[in-house]
Homo-oligomer: A and B are copies of this chain.
Amino acid sequence: MNQEYPSALLERAVKEFTKLPGIGRKTATRLVLHLLRKSEEEVENFSNALTTLRRDAKYCKECHSISDTDICPICANPLRDHSIICVVENIQDVMAVENTMQYRGVYHVLGGVISPMDGISPSSLNIDSLIKRVAEGEVKEVILALSSTMEGDTTNFYIYRKLQQYGIKLSVIARGISIGDELEYADEVTLGSSIVNRTPFTGKTI
């Protein structure tokens, strides 16, 4: 769409919005014109929330998750099990696992997965600090909860080799058929993997 904007200011704002993932010109225009109908104060609140976050956001010195303090609330919580570390790619994943209410250990945010194609080497991820945490001797288990992709698998293997020597338990999250999914629509690799990695039936449904 070769859209001509009646105002350069409008065009600039729309262009900034289209830089966001999944936001095209049409959606961007709709969002910007929505903000234009709001009060000057409301638009400033919106803008300030973003610039303040970017300027003042801290990352936990322990797990690298976003935090308003040096140590995030999860790492600072004495009720969490500090002997289990769940390794995830990013902050969204921490929130996703937290939402399950099934995990009481702590986290380690890698900041991505190893991907030579995208120029992401092990040194650009928070892997050294993970090894350091394990080397301190308090950790009993590391759970790898990375994406089930080639990059995720590569990262799993890299971490496995680095942590091997410490004699801790290393596990990966279970892969299988999603709860509620019908078998006939599951992809073959997942279905095959779920048969190979079958678990004893305990009589409980979930």
- State the A residues within 8 Å of B (CB): 1-10, 12-13, 15-17, 19-23, 27, 29-36, 38, 40, 43-58, 65-68, 72-74, 90-92, 94-95, 98-99
Contacts and interface: CB of A to CB of B under 8 A. Distances in A.
A37 to B, nearest CB: 9
A66 B35 CA distance: 13
Contacts of A66: 6-7, 10, 36
A64 B27 CA distance: 22
B12 A34 contact: no
B13 A20 contact: no
Given A4-B95, A27-B22, A30-B92, A10 B48 contact: no
A139 B27 CA distance: 35
A46 B91 contact: no
